[in-house]
Structure 1
Amino acid sequence: MDLNDIIDYLGTVARSVGAEMSSPFFYLQFGLILIAAGIALTANAALQKRIDRGSLANRWPLPLRRLAYVLVVESFSTVVFAVLVIAARIVMYHSTWPSRSYMLVVAAKLALAWLAIRLITSVIRNAFLVTMISLLAWLIAALSIINQLEPAADALDSISIVLGGLRLTPLLVIKACLLLIVTLWLTNIASNFAESRINRSADLTPSIQVLLVKMIRIGLMVVAVAIALGAVGINLSALAVFSGAVGVGIGIGLQKIVANFISGIILLADKSVKPGDLVTIGDSSGRISAMKTRYISVAAGDGREFLIPNEDLVTQKVTNWTYTDKNTLVKVTFATNYDSNPRRVCQLAIENAAAAPRAIKARPPNCILTEFAETGMKFSLTFWIADPDGMDNVRSEVMLSLWETFKREGIKVPYPVRELRVRGGALPVDTTVEVSS
């Protein structure tokens, strides 16, 4: 079909429509359709005010409950419109010639087609996807009802662009998009099912679970694209002309994306980090909450989440507090003055650390004297806890307990002392004054 054929076809359609509009039955049918639409909208508005959506078919099985929701809540106006138009068609069919009510037949078929499409797409949860699929399917059904589907397809197929060995037409693009939507939707269902089965497996580590899920999703997406393109007649070898451009794009603008993707695969394969690990990366510390294709999410515990690129975990220093063992050594440093008995100080410190609720009883604390400093004696107290999460809180509790014990035992914590010597004036020569700061 060339451009002249399209123009002739549009002219024929225009003349046919003009002839139909000259008939009084055209306006009668159009008026009945408008009245049916008004009654349907009014009935729908009245129903929505009275219906309780939360208790609608509450005791029914889930599929029937979803069906009732679509019919009563989402498409009630369509149901009423279809019933009224069909009733008007029956009345006109028996009172006049059948050809004088053809518009009512078309309107009823369009309404029923929309209702069927809404029922079929009710299993899809994505609202945007439901709207797009519904509109496209209804447009195809409408063209088929008015016997214009084949001419419209020929018109869309007549416009083409040839790229290499590939002939692109609007019809081909529409078919490919529709098949891609269907195959990717089925792929998402299959990958979600596989993910649920993998996550329930107790024999697989969290990192292996994430790796398997990602590989399954990527593999299914590749298969879906190949099936969709092959189904519409696109030879995948014809797309080789684009491979050079894609390679250049990756080399110039997608370096970091590809690097992060490969780094994510490496991290999942070598199991150096996994969901649930407590890590420190630069100035960011927290527990890994998710591992994505491009980044990992580290929850800091204060409401913040750090999104760290996978490449940083491969190329930078990472502290994994729970890599092989969750047991963590906590270190507390403190000092006392020289009037204290260091052995008694060590004994009190060990007792306080051992009394901490989270201290591991099987690994007793240890306290050593580390330095004789100018201001006093310095000590280092170490003890083990079973999980590094909340380590600072444990350290704070032990230090508060030490402070209370030292107060009770009369052990003083040293503070800096400054010595001033004033010569002449009101004070005697070489008088020493101690000032604490």
Structure 2
Amino acid sequence: MEPEIPTSTSDLVALGQTLLSRTEALLYKLLLPWNVYQLAIAVGLFLLATLAARIARPRLHDWMRAREGWPKWRMRLLVIAHRRLRMIIFVAAISLVVVVMSEVTWPSRSYLLSIIANLSAAWLFIVFATRLIGNPLLRSVVRYGAWTWVTLSILGLTDEAQQVMEGASVNVGETRLSLWLLVQAVVMLGVLITLARFAAATITARIRANEEISPSMQVLAVKFLQVVLFGAAFFIGLRLVGVDLTGLAVLSGAIGVGLGFGLQKVVSNLVSGIIILLDKSIKPGDVISLGETFGWINSLGARYVSVVTRDGKEYLIPNEDLITGQVVNWSHTNDFVRLDIFFGTAYGDDPHKVRKLAIAAAISVQRVLSSKQPVCHIVGFGDSSVDYILRFWIRDPRMGLTNIRGDVYLALWDAFNENGVSIPFPQREVRMLEDDKANDELDAGGGALSEKH
């Protein structure tokens, strides 16, 4: 038989009086002698569990630190057990006491202990179960909501609680919104979103483990999967609690028109992100240059692309800039990158020998490819030196460009020092004027200055 839903203030007052009378009866029962000693036993067991936990917790901590190579999920369970060790000991102790008292005395003498044992065991189970929820806010909401509902169920107060929440309602047009409907919606959405999150994480791990799918298509598939799963969880949850989605569809259409004008940049970035994923112009791991920003792509987001530079800075570049701007992708079709460095030697050094030494020095650097032979050419005759260009190839631009140039310059320095090749520098000649002539010019300049003033 379904509980009668109060529809007026007088019904709520009557329900409140009923709850108050039941609370008074419960308090009266708690003061009975056989309930008082049960409470004393529960308090004593709790103090005993506290003492035992203080003794066992350091030893358990040392034992956990000695466990190497254990899976993460097992270590997480041990951490939770370490934190809730007092409750675990208390639940085990009070359950044992209830079993013993049920065998040696009347059931009424252990009735209150049974309720406390059931509540403690339920609370402990909820703590372990809610650790599967990754979002801290959602985990707290589910945990406290489950504790409240389990407590009401064990105490037999679910019907009264439902009546109170059904009575707290408002009418919006033809729709009646109550606190009970809101609680149902939160619970259903929480459960469905948790399931969707778990399914998305599982499928995402399998997609990323598949090497036959390109990185950009992996990101696109993951984003599409998340939208579908979370969208389905939201609409199914509302449908299960009886919310009419017809009005929601009309409202969402009106909101969409408003957002289309107000959030043009956001929508543009979203569409640009989809285009980037579809045309595979850039993907995670690519090395790109955009203006003065040079780094590798860390992740592709719905609104921006994360680019990490060699100095550890992370730039969040809007997707629209990558579509409309000029981007240099150093590893778009392949990983081969050609680098140029310039240097000069003295006019007295044989240029044929210099070219051979430069090529050999470049090949000696580990990251320089020997399969693509470096080349060295004369590019001009300068004021103080013969100018050269040295070109070489690498295939790991993500490892940095400045450092490989520095390594090649250092190899050139060592090779030139060993073979007597000099690197010239500009020289200036300073001529000192004769003392008499300098003094005459100084006096002339001073006289002119005096006349001027």
Q: Which of the five TM-score ranges fits, normalised by the shorter chain?
A: 0.7 to 0.9
* Counterpart residue number, 1:363: 372
Q: Among 274, 279, 298, which residue is 1:265 paired with?
A: 274
CA shift for structure 1 position 245: 3.5
Alignment of 1:112-151 (within 5 A): 112-118=121-127, 120-121=129-130, 123-124=132-133, 129-151=138-160
* Counterpart residue number, 2:21: 15
* Counterpart residue number, 2:221: 212
Q: Does 1:46 align with 2:59?
A: no
CA shift for structure 1 position 29: 1.9
CA shift for structure 1 position 223: 0.8
Deviations 1:300-338 (A, max 9, x none): 344443333333322332221111111111101012233
CA distance in 1, matches of 2:30, 2:206: 64
* Counterpart residue number, 2:423: 413
Aligned in 2, Cα 1:423/1:19: closer, same or farther, shift over 3 Å?
closer
CA distance in 1, matches of 2:184, 2:261: 32
CA distance in 2, matches of 1:224, 1:157: 25
* Counterpart residue number, 1:232: 241
CA distance in 2, matches of 1:26, 1:171: 35
Aligned in 2, Cα 1:123/1:86: closer, same or farther, shift over 3 Å?
farther
Aligned in 2, Cα 1:16/1:207: closer, same or farther, shift over 3 Å?
closer
Q: Does 1:184 align with 2:190?
A: no
Q: Would you say the 8 A contact 1:36–1:85 is kept in 2?
A: no
* Counterpart residue number, 1:168: 177
Q: Would you say the 8 A contact 2:364–2:411 is kept in 1?
A: no
CA shift for structure 1 position 205: 0.9
**Counterpart residue identity of residue 426, structure 2:** P
Count how many residue pairs are aligned between Structure 1 and Structure 2: 422
Q: Among 306, 311, 314, which residue is 1:305 paired with?
A: 314
**Counterpart residue identity of residue 412, structure 2:** L
Which range is displaced more, 7-16 or 180-189?
7-16
Aligned in 2, Cα 1:7/1:87: closer, same or farther, shift over 3 Å?
farther
CA distance in 2, matches of 1:311, 1:42: 64
CA shift for structure 1 position 36: 0.5
CA distance in 2, matches of 1:411, 1:427: 44
CA distance in 1, matches of 2:30, 2:182: 42
Q: Would you say the 8 A contact 2:365–2:411 is kept in 1?
A: no
Aligned in 2, Cα 1:248/1:31: closer, same or farther, shift over 3 Å?
farther
SS of match in other structure, 2:203 = helix
SS of match in other structure, 2:370 = coil
CA distance in 1, matches of 2:179, 2:16: 19
**Counterpart residue identity of residue 391, structure 1:** L
**Counterpart residue identity of residue 399, structure 1:** Y
Deviations 1:231-264 (A, max 9, x none): 0011211213532235424532x44443333332
CA distance in 1, matches of 2:322, 2:216: 15
**Identity score, percent:** 33
CA distance in 1, matches of 2:36, 2:322: 68
Q: Would you say the 8 A contact 2:339–2:392 is kept in 1?
A: yes
* Counterpart residue number, 2:390: 381
CA distance in 1, matches of 2:345, 2:261: 62
Aligned in 2, Cα 1:48/1:341: closer, same or farther, shift over 3 Å?
same
Which range is displaced more, 300-309 or 353-362?
300-309
SS of match in other structure, 1:185 = helix
Q: Would you say the 8 A contact 1:21–1:27 is kept in 2?
A: no
* Counterpart residue number, 1:433: none
* Counterpart residue number, 1:33: 39
**Counterpart residue identity of residue 52, structure 1:** L
CA distance in 2, matches of 1:79, 1:108: 9
Gaps of 5+ in 1: 429-437
CA shift for structure 1 position 7: 1.1
CA distance in 1, matches of 2:92, 2:242: 39
Deviations 1:187-246 (A, max 9, x none): 112112211221222211111111111111111111111110110011211213532235
Aligned in 2, Cα 1:293/1:49: closer, same or farther, shift over 3 Å?
farther
SS of match in other structure, 1:330 = strand
* Counterpart residue number, 1:397: 407
SS of match in other structure, 2:145 = helix
CA distance in 1, matches of 2:379, 2:78: 76
Aligned in 2, Cα 1:386/1:246: closer, same or farther, shift over 3 Å?
closer
CA distance in 2, matches of 1:425, 1:328: 61
**Counterpart residue identity of residue 43, structure 1:** A
